[in-house]
Amino acid sequence: MRCSDSVGQRLPGRARLRAAGWAAAAAVGWSALAAGAEALRPFTVVGDTIPRSLTGRPGDPRRGREVLLSRQLGNCLLCHRVPIPEERFQGNLGPDLAGVGSRLSAGQIRLRIVDEGRLNPDTIMPPYYRVEGLRRVMGAYREEPVLTAEQVEDVVAFVRTFRR
């Protein structure tokens, strides 16, 4: 993925990251509507994990695949490469997710989806299950998580299948 200014010139490093962040923020704003109104379910962060499911049950990897690949919901391919070669136009700003199911636990993956900023304050990855402390959110999308708790669990279940 190349980030360019309005006349097509390649942007320098920090500007490229800002442009990608803006694109991700726009995608997050659009997908918040799809998540629907839901009160956030309480969760506990332990180290680098959210050890318990947000819903109290495992997610469905088939539905997680749909969310992850959807350009309207998760929009994960904007920044990440995934081990699904038939999917075109995969990003390269975030880490490649191939093998992540072998490297990280479900709880570690869950925290990264819920709010990667807790682990890396400089991340450009949007929080998919946080509503407080966000800036530049359109009024219609305030207090709305990008994904529901069920969708987060579905994505966790699908990403856990990325094993080497």
Tokens of 30: 């659009």
| pLDDT mean across residues, the chain | 83
Instruction: Give percent above pLDDT 70 in the chain.
Output: 77
Domain ranges of the chain: 13-159
**Is pLDDT of 136 > 70?**
yes
Which architecture, in CATH terms, is 13-159?
Answer: Orthogonal Bundle (1.10)
Instruction: Specify the range with the lowest mean pLDDT, choosing from 33-37, 43-47, 126-130.
Output: 33-37
pLDDT band at 83 (very low <50, low <70, confident <90, very high): very high
